[in-house]
Every structure is written in structure tokens, then in C-alpha cells.
Structure 1
Amino acid sequence: MPVIIRIDSVIGVTGLSKSSIYAFERAGTFPKRIKLGARAVGWDADEVAEWVKARKASV
């Protein structure tokens, strides 16, 4: 079962600002958010971790 993390955790893991996360997502270079409810979204923790790992490898 995937672990879903909210925006504050995504910010903590990536070091990015909220607006940067949404901009990367719109550009298709960041994992898509998952709608949790009417006003709540989250991200798959494994997908975010893989994104960070890939960014580290490309530097």
C-alpha cells in the first residue's frame, strides 16, 4: 500500500517551495498529485523519493 504524503512533507523532502513543486508538476517533470478529497491532495512518497534520487543522479 503506497504511503501518501502531503505538501509540507514534499517540501521537506525536496527542499523546493510549494510554487516550484506545482510548476514542476505542470511541466510534467514531477510526480502527479493524488486527489484525496474535495480540498486535499497528496503525493506517493515512493514517487517523490525516486524523483529526488533521479535529480541527485543528474547533478
Structure 2
Amino acid sequence: MNGQPQAPVPLLALVRMPELMSLTGLARPTVYKMLKRDPTFPKPVKLSDSKARNAPVAFVLSEVQAWIQGRIEARGQSL
């Protein structure tokens, strides 16, 4: 150590669907609609190589938070 304060290393975290729904306030069907219609909505990350319909996915927490922040910032612009 050189005695200099070190910047914190950003941690990457993944959240599953229940956490995504809780963070965004969106219902599951709405999340799926957003994935199809909103190019700014965070895209899922595949957690396995499975091609099955119910293969596990998660979302990058920082991308979800950035999307939420964007929604907050846009709330007064379109009225």
C-alpha cells in the first residue's frame, strides 16, 4: 500500500425477477412488455446455456438503477 486512498471498486450485482419487480414497481407482464417495446429498459443476462423457455435470467443492478434514475429525471419533461 502506498498510503493513498483507493477508489472503491464498483461491484457488479445481478437481481432476479422478484427484485426487479420490487425495484421498478412493475408487474411481471409489464416487465416483459418493456423488454419488447422500450430499448432503454435493462436487458436480461442469461445465467445458463439452457434454451428452455424458463431458463434462469437476471438483470444487472446498476443498469436497473440507471433506468430508474432516467425515469425520475424524465418525470417533469413530458408533462
Higher strand share: 1
What is the identity, as a one-letter code, of the residue corresponding to 1:44? V
Computed over aligned residues only, the root mean square deviation of the Cα atoms, in angstroms, reads: 1.0
| TM value normalised by structure 1 | 0.91
Match status 1:56 vs 2:72: yes
Name which one, 1 or 2, has greater alpha-carbon Rg: 2
**Which has more helix, going by share of residues?**
1
Secondary structure of residue in 2 paired with 1:43: strand
Q: Percent identity?
A: 27
With normalisation by structure 2, the TM-score equals: 0.69
Counterpart-to-counterpart distance in 2, 1:20 and 1:2: 25
1:7 has 2:17 as partner: yes
Gap change, CA 1:29 and 1:19, over 3 Å in 2:
farther
Displacement of 1:25: 1.1
5+ residue gaps, structure 1:
none
Q: State the 4+ residue runs in structure 1 displaced beyond 6 angstroms.
A: none
Residue aligned with 1:10, SS: helix
1:10-33 deviations in Å (ceiling 9; x for gaps): 000000001111111111231110
Q: Is 1:33 aligned to 2:63, yes or no?
A: no
The answer for the alignment partner of 1:17 in structure 2 is 27
Q: Which has the higher contact order (CA 8 A, sep 6+)?
A: 1
Amino acid in the other structure paired with 1:32? K
